[in-house]
Amino acid sequence: MARYIFITGGVVSSLGKGLMAASLAALLQARGFRVRIRKFDPYLNVDPGTMSPYQHGEVYVTDDGAETDLDLGHYERFTGVSARQADNITSGRIYRDIIAKERRGDYLGATVQVIPHVTDAIKDFAQAETEDLDFVLCEIGGTVGDIEGLPFIEALRQLHNEMRDETCFVHVTLVPYIAAAGELKTKPTQHSVRELTGLGIQPDILLCRCEKPLPESERAKIAQFCNVRKSAVIPALDASSIYAVPLQYHAEGLDSEVLRHFGLSAPSPDLKRWDDIVDRHQNPEGEVTIGVVGKYVGLQDAYKSLNEALVHGGMANRVRVRIQWLDAELFEKDDAEIAAALEPMHGILVPGGFGERGTEGKIASVRFARERGVPFFGICLGMQMACIEGARNTAGIANASSTEFGPTDEPVVGIITEWMTSEGLEKRSEGGDLGGTMRLGAYQAQLAGNSHVANVYGATEISERHRHRYEVNVAYKERLEKGGLVFSGMSPDGLLPEIVERPDHPWFIGVQFHPELKSRPFEPHPLFAGFIAAAVKQARLV
């Protein structure tokens, strides 16, 4: 039977519960255990797919096409275990399913209530597909006491009552430092634990986020007032890098305390690969600057996986990657200003996005990279901008555009209206729900054997994750290739362009998918490793 570790947070949000869950799972994995991490999101959206990046950060897409919370990206990057639809649930999805059952009469006329119907649905989610696991870590979004989170806390209380010996509660809380007093204050942690115990849950381990070392006297005080062992009060100071967090938590005894709680013994964790990752990150042999020309640059969580994938590319090349976030809208000016902003860059990346805002600035960035020979990487919308730029400036299609931006006589990019699924040919209407009109999840692609990307991947068949509503129009393939833009990756049926490149350029690749979603610190994605290697050459570091 799988053992469950429930992770809650108190005092304030953004304490790093997701990173804590990922780090603890990595430590248990390093001891030989099989792990999976799940996220409970109390908000009423069915999923984050239609939420603004400014509201929620990036949408993380799994192989099976689920649009999920960005914390699942941390889970995958730290454990290498691919997330799936069953690993993220929201209140919206639970209530939607319950109401659908009620309308069908599945409850046989019973009154549908939070207890037992909602809490049972949450418990079913927590326990689904866990037969082959040693540990299931469940992170509850938000903070203890949030109204929308109460059904989740109640469901966990019930689970603990039903399987007491197989559950552990880890509460992540804040121990703030008051500079005027020169002291760390434990009262917020005490009040947070009191709130949690008032809901029927006594935490077993406290992870105390603090910016100063936690004195032994304060650990003892927290343990006494919060009814836990002193060894179960784990300090969690700010780390130099998120990839140093597993090592730091191990040094503080977090994984040992979890095993002690369950009465388990296990070999010491093999942390060699984490030592290597930290060494590569903290001891680079050079630095490159990458300009990311996007529309959500005011909130870096909107590009969380992209940021980490660039860091992984730097690790692969033993260089530090300095990311310069550039607002695409500011690039819709004269060429001199664009050049002034982009000339210091050793590589230019145009990421995914939706809508017309900032697209002309992205196209201008593509043109700069193409004409100046600067390594270029276009992802999703970035590939589409590369195709429109090529159409306008090298293929003689002056009015090339995307139907996403309005009516056009030259739709180089157009809406998906039909594509193949596992169930057959599925047609979607443009007027349908926004959450159901995209190509989502893992799709296969065939690479041209003599292409740059085939050399980068070391293969001619790949599988990558998609999240987009528009495609490059294959009807323009021949004309664009005459302009020097080669379609080096296609869907297996040859109808959907997946990768474009320019053989006459030092490094110019655009991809319709999101390779950043599959990059890991111990296994950097080959496209990011190759892009940073090209930036290293551009910087004349080799």
Give yes or no: 380 in active site: yes
Torsional sign, CA 239, 245, 250, 254 = positive
User: Strand order in 410-415's β-sheet?
Assistant: 400-402, 410-415, 470-472
Q: Which tokens belong to 211? A: 């910016």
- Determine the 3-state secondary structure of 296 from DSSP: coil
How far apart are the C-alpha atoms of 507 and 511, rounded to whole Å?
13
Pairing assessment for the beta strands 233-237 and 205-210 based on DSSP bridges:
parallel
Burial bucket for residue 529 (CB in 10 Å: 0-12, 13-18, 19+): buried
Q: Are 297 and 325 in contact (CB under 8 A)?
A: yes
Give yes or no: 514 in active site: yes
Q: Name residue 437's amino acid.
A: T
Q: Are 411 and 403 in contact (CB under 8 A)?
A: yes
Considering only CA atoms, which of 10, 5, 7, 6 is closest in space to residue 146?
10
Active-site residue, from 168, 208, 226, 380: 380
How far apart are the C-alpha atoms of 374 and 539, rounded to whole Å?
10
Report the interhelical angle of 17-30 vs 254-262 (nearest 10°): 70
Ranges assigned E (strand) in 280-409? 287-294, 320-327, 347-350, 376-379, 400-402
Torsional sign, CA 244, 315, 365, 416 = negative
Q: Which residues of 162-176 are buried (b: 16+ CB within 10 A; e: fewer)?
A: eeeebbbbbbbbbbb
Q: Name residue 72's amino acid.
A: L
Q: Name residue 394's amino acid.
A: T
How far apart are the C-alpha atoms of 458 and 379, rounded to whole Å?
20
How far apart are the C-alpha atoms of 304 and 302, rounded to whole Å?
6
Active-site residue, from 139, 468, 516, 525: 516
Give yes or no: 281 in active site: no
Any idea which residues carry the catalytic annotation? 380, 514, 516
